[in-house]
Amino acid sequence: MTATVIRTLLSHWRSHRLQLITLLTGIALATGLWSAVQAINTEARASYARASAQLALGQFDEIQNSDGFIPIETYVALRRDGWQVAAVLDGTLRIKGRSVRIMGVDMVSYPALPAVTEAEQSQAPPDPADILTDPGRLLMTADLAMLFDGAEGFPPVLTSTALPPDLVLTDIGVAERLLDRPGQISRLVILPDQPQGRTPLADLAPELLRSSPSAQTDTAQLTDSFHLNLAAFGLLSFAVGLFIVHGTVGLAFAQRRGIIRTLRALGVPMHRLIWLILTELVLLALIGGLIGLLIGFFLAGALLPDVAATLRGLYGAPVEGQLSLRPAWVASGLAMAVGGTLAASGHALWKLSQMPLLSGAGLQAWGNAAAHRVMGGVGLLLLVGAGLIYLSAQGLLAGFAMLGALLTGAALLLPLVLSALLAVLGRHAKGPISTWVWADMRAQLPGLSLALMALLLALAANIGVGTMVSSFRLTFLGWLDQRLTSELYFSAEDAEQAALITDWLNPQVDAILPIRNTELSHETGPLFLYGVVDDQTYREKWPLIARSPDAWDRVMQGEAILINEQLARRADLWPGDILHLTSLQSRVIAGVYSDYGNPTGQAIVSMRQLDVLAPDTPPALRFGIRLPEVRAAEMAQKLRDQFDLPTQAVIRQHALKAQSVAIFEKTFVVTSALNVLTLGVAGFAILTSLLTLWTQRLPQVAPVWALGLTRRHLAGLELLRSLLLAALTAVLALPLGLILAWVLLAVINVQAFGWRLPMFLFPGDWLRLFALTLVAAALAAALPALRLMRLPPVHLLRVFANER
């Protein structure tokens, strides 16, 4: 019996091949987009974990100094007292215009590092003494080694496969020299097996703080928000894909009611039918899921290099640009495909299981008006829920929950709203054809509503994300204009050269603005303290978003400090509050400035105060030069010639802006790609709905044809109907998209990145999207309309024959 029933159930797909393709495509697209995002996230997290393991990070307790660096004297005191600690010096070095992270470790005491072991076990192992004694060795990946090729003043390079990208590992003595930070230690790693009877840290060095691995801020924590954003977008794409599955399965089940009824009449128990249909759905989900995984793998492979570049640029996160196939990813992708398919089919399956044996075999039950009223009610509740979350909850997850409730609620309400709109518009119809078109459109809503819901979500996401990105771009460009005010920027190799250059430049330019900073620790994470000289440029241009009166005067008098928005929001510190910088030093906050693209806290004091607060701050090696713009090119060349500086050492303002904009654009490559793909999926949903529905259209169309309308005329009306429904949906998507943009800008971004952006409106983009929607709807409706135009009259006559 089972084999016969299976054959009979499967025979439906043989005669409805397009429906099968649609179903598999829906599952594949949903799984593909979701899996692509998961693959990217998994790969990135695996890179972080690999990097931590390669550098023995997050395994041991560490000691840091909230006042900045740990002096060598304190380290010596700790060692003499018996503390088993390994010194580490972290820093950043610019080489050929690119930032490279230097990690200098005490090679003798630091835990075994895979890169060192690999070098020692290589075919030509270096002499261990070479690594420890001058000039030392630099360990790095082969890719990074190419950057050092031909660069002067660096120790010999050893390549390793056991290191993160963009990181140079070396002995701490070499790092001190390269970073020009003699006697400074960033942190001390507390080794296992400490001797008994040591003096407590609080007595020996009260200024030092001990932190456990769980309290150390690592890359995975820093990038959590970015990955959560990606996951949310992946989930939205998944949901849009599932609309196709839901619609197709619903129609397929409705069409199979006759078969199910007959099989039951022939003696097949209902529970066996349900189990077999469930098995069939799982098999289809697995097939669609496998196709989706293939799509996802290639999509992720295409997007990963840009995401890796973004994560490196934004967070300094070590992500490799290559994708590897992981069993867990395959399993989770298939699980999502099966789970999603069953969730999308659950309602149809439940209705089928409740179907009385003697019920009709028609399509009435498919997407009926009563169901739409229930959906509308649920939608309204979800919208109220979204409002309540906004009023009562905070945090990134609450933000996403609000977004989810808002989008789902609006989508569920769509059929009711469209129906009401069509009823209102239909009242103004003149003439019988026009009246019929409006009435027919309402009658067709149940069958098309799922596709239109998918379109609404895709359009709203497009408008919302587009508005966010464009608002961000506009704000970012304006902000760049404020921040990058100097006409030229130059980097010196050392303090001596910097002094020579500034002396030479002084009489020739309007101002020289040193860029000098140091890293401190704050309860919210790393804090970069910058010192600035008193110059009108800062007073006029610096982008303060909150300020107290005479902010700059007070900063320059050493009374106050400016902090960036990230620090302000994380620590809830605003003008008038006190920022505790070190154990002994604190300053009143005079203003808060926007600082996009920077994940860490930052503060600005006068140059004199920087030396007071952090006397070990290295001298400035980078400078901004103010001079008339027309002299910038000439001065850049003169500077290079005079001091034999490489091209990258002197950069004009517009080149620096172009670099920043390029990084910004890369940040949103993956978002834009997912945006376009989601819209594509929604377009496909409309196409499949129209194609699967078109045979059901014949009973409505045939009588009108018999009354004297040509097939060409009817096909034109079909096209018009799709365009009108798509246009109405697009109009409704606009307010939803703008609310989405507001939530993204005012809630999600603040929680995820620590900055709030102003919202700008881009009507030109909306018009383009509206036109694109109409084109997509026209393309989707073209095939069914063409079919109708060419339909032999005998098929239309069959409608009347069946009715007899």
Partner 1 sequence: MLLTIDHVQKTYPGGRPVLKDVSLVLDHGQTLALTGESGSGKSTLLHLAAALDGFDGGEITLDGTPLSGLEDAGRAALRRQTLSLVFQQFNLIPSLTVAQNLSIHAQIAGRHDPEWEAHLAQHLGLGDLLDRFPENLSGGQQQRVAIGRAMATRPALLLADEPTGNLDETASATVLDLMLGLVADTGTALLLVTHSLDIAARLDRRAHLSGGQVT
Closer CB to partner 1, residue 242 or residue 268? 268
Answer yes or no whether residue 349 interacts with partner 1 by CB under 8 A: no
User: Which range binds partner 1 by CB under 8 A, 210-218, 268-276, 615-623, 625-633?
Assistant: 268-276
Answer yes or no whether residue 795 interacts with partner 1 by CB under 8 A: no
Q: Which of the residues 44 through 103 are near partner 1 (CB under 8 A)?
A: none
Answer yes or no whether residue 734 interacts with partner 1 by CB under 8 A: no
Answer yes or no whether residue 363 interacts with partner 1 by CB under 8 A: no
Give the span between the Cα atoms of 157 and 155, in whole angstroms.
6
Query: Using an 8 Å Cβ cutoff, are 449 and 372 in contact?
Result: yes
Give the span between the Cα atoms of 266 and 256, in whole angstroms.
15
Shortest Cβ distance from residue 280 to partner 1 (Å)?
14
Residue with tokens 């009709």: 360
Give the span between the Cα atoms of 745 and 741, in whole angstroms.
6
Residue with tokens 């019920």: 359
Please pick, from the candidates 6, 259, 287, 724, the single residue that binds partner 1 as defined by CB under 8 A: 259
| Angle at 781 (CA atoms; ends 775, 784), nearest 5 degrees | 155
Q: If phi over 0 gives left and psi between -120 and 50 gives alpha, with beta otherwise, what is residue 359?
A: beta
Alpha helices in 166-269 (DSSP H): 172-179, 201-204, 219-222, 224-265
Shortest Cβ distance from residue 261 to partner 1 (Å)?
7
Please pick, from the candidates 252, 263, 412, 604, the single residue that binds partner 1 as defined by CB under 8 A: 263
Pairing of strands 525-532, 601-606: parallel
Reported in sequence order, the residue ranges of 535-667 that DSSP labels E, i.e. its strands, are 544-547, 560-564, 578-580, 586-593, 601-606, 622-626, 650-652
Shortest Cβ distance from residue 346 to partner 1 (Å)?
21
Shortest Cβ distance from residue 793 to partner 1 (Å)?
17
Closer CB to partner 1, residue 267 or residue 431? 267
Answer yes or no whether residue 672 interacts with partner 1 by CB under 8 A: no
Answer yes or no whether residue 265 interacts with partner 1 by CB under 8 A: yes
Answer yes or no whether residue 699 interacts with partner 1 by CB under 8 A: no
Shortest Cβ distance from residue 271 to partner 1 (Å)?
7
Shortest Cβ distance from residue 334 to partner 1 (Å)?
28
Shortest Cβ distance from residue 3 to partner 1 (Å)?
8
Shortest Cβ distance from residue 363 to partner 1 (Å)?
14
Answer yes or no whether residue 266 interacts with partner 1 by CB under 8 A: yes
Please pick, from the candidates 96, 264, 351, 638, the single residue that binds partner 1 as defined by CB under 8 A: 264
Two structure tokens written together for 502? 């500034």
DSSP letter assigned to residue 299 = H
Answer yes or no whether residue 261 interacts with partner 1 by CB under 8 A: yes
Tell me, letter by letter, the H, E, C secondary structure of 579-614. EECCCCCEEEEEEEECCCCCCCEEEEEEHHHHHHHC
Two structure tokens written together for 741? 């943009």
CA dist 651 → 99, 472, 479, 654 (Å)? 15, 25, 19, 8
- What residue type is assigned to position 579 of the chain? L
Please pick, from the candidates 271, 427, 428, 430, the single residue that binds partner 1 as defined by CB under 8 A: 271
Closer CB to partner 1, residue 1 or residue 797? 1
- What residue type is assigned to position 416 of the chain? L
DSSP letter assigned to residue 69 = S
Answer yes or no whether residue 17 interacts with partner 1 by CB under 8 A: no
Answer yes or no whether residue 1 interacts with partner 1 by CB under 8 A: yes
CA dist 358 → 265, 354, 584 (Å)? 9, 12, 85
Q: Tally Cβ neighbours within 10 Å of residue 355.
A: 18
| Angle at 489 (CA atoms; ends 487, 492), nearest 5 degrees | 155
Answer yes or no whether residue 269 interacts with partner 1 by CB under 8 A: yes
Closer CB to partner 1, residue 357 or residue 391? 357
Shortest Cβ distance from residue 12 to partner 1 (Å)?
5
Please pick, from the candidates 325, 358, 370, 794, the single residue that binds partner 1 as defined by CB under 8 A: 358
Answer yes or no whether residue 15 interacts with partner 1 by CB under 8 A: yes
Answer yes or no whether residue 258 interacts with partner 1 by CB under 8 A: yes
Residue with tokens 């004009």: 652
Closer CB to partner 1, residue 1 or residue 477? 1
Answer yes or no whether residue 7 interacts with partner 1 by CB under 8 A: yes
Residue with tokens 């609080």: 202
Give the span between the Cα atoms of 529 and 44, in whole angstroms.
30
User: Which range binds partner 1 by CB under 8 A, 7-15, 38-46, 162-170, 663-671?
Assistant: 7-15
Q: Which of the residues 238 through 257 are near partner 1 (CB under 8 A)?
A: none
Shortest Cβ distance from residue 254 to partner 1 (Å)?
14
User: Which range binds partner 1 by CB under 8 A, 86-94, 230-238, 258-266, 553-561?
Assistant: 258-266
Shortest Cβ distance from residue 718 to partner 1 (Å)?
24
Give the span between the Cα atoms of 157 and 146, in whole angstroms.
10
Shortest Cβ distance from residue 15 to partner 1 (Å)?
4
CA dist 747 → 48, 224, 355, 757 (Å)? 27, 16, 45, 10
User: Which range binds partner 1 by CB under 8 A, 1-9, 207-215, 448-456, 519-527?
Assistant: 1-9
How many residues bind partner 1 (CB under 8 A)? The answer is: 26
Closer CB to partner 1, residue 199 or residue 353? 353
Shortest Cβ distance from residue 357 to partner 1 (Å)?
5
Please pick, from the candidates 270, 545, 655, 698, the single residue that binds partner 1 as defined by CB under 8 A: 270
CA dist 501 → 86, 209, 505, 638 (Å)? 38, 40, 6, 11
Shortest Cβ distance from residue 388 to partner 1 (Å)?
40
Site string for partner 1, 203-242 (x = CB under 8 A): ----------------------------------------
Two structure tokens written together for 313? 């640029």
Closer CB to partner 1, residue 267 or residue 327? 267
Shortest Cβ distance from residue 10 to partner 1 (Å)?
9
Give the span between the Cα atoms of 52 and 57, in whole angstroms.
5
Shortest Cβ distance from residue 365 to partner 1 (Å)?
17
Give the span between the Cα atoms of 649 and 98, in whole angstroms.
11
Please pick, from the candidates 122, 194, 221, 262, the single residue that binds partner 1 as defined by CB under 8 A: 262
Shortest Cβ distance from residue 674 to partner 1 (Å)?
38
Instruction: Using DSSP, state whether 83 is helix, strand or coil.
Output: coil
Please pick, from the candidates 357, 370, 630, 794, the single residue that binds partner 1 as defined by CB under 8 A: 357
Q: If phi over 0 gives left and psi between -120 and 50 gives alpha, with beta otherwise, what is residue 431?
A: left
Closer CB to partner 1, residue 215 or residue 266? 266
The rounded radius of gyration (Å) of the Cα atoms in the chain is: 33
Answer yes or no whether residue 11 interacts with partner 1 by CB under 8 A: yes
User: Any idea of the CA torsion for 719, 722, 726, 729, to the nearest 10 degrees?
Assistant: 150
Please pick, from the candidates 100, 189, 268, 498, the single residue that binds partner 1 as defined by CB under 8 A: 268
Nearest to 178 by CA among 85, 101, 86: 101
User: Which range binds partner 1 by CB under 8 A, 13-21, 60-68, 164-172, 664-672?
Assistant: 13-21
Query: Using an 8 Å Cβ cutoff, are 379 and 405 in contact?
Result: no
Pairing of strands 138-140, 157-159: parallel
Closer CB to partner 1, residue 269 or residue 395? 269
Closer CB to partner 1, residue 7 or residue 94? 7
Two structure tokens written together for 395? 């945090």
How far is C-alpha 450 from the chain's CA centre?
27
Residue with tokens 């002499």: 127
Shortest Cβ distance from residue 269 to partner 1 (Å)?
4
Binding stretches for partner 1 (CB under 8 A): 1, 3-5, 7-8, 11-12, 14-16, 258-259, 261-271, 357-358
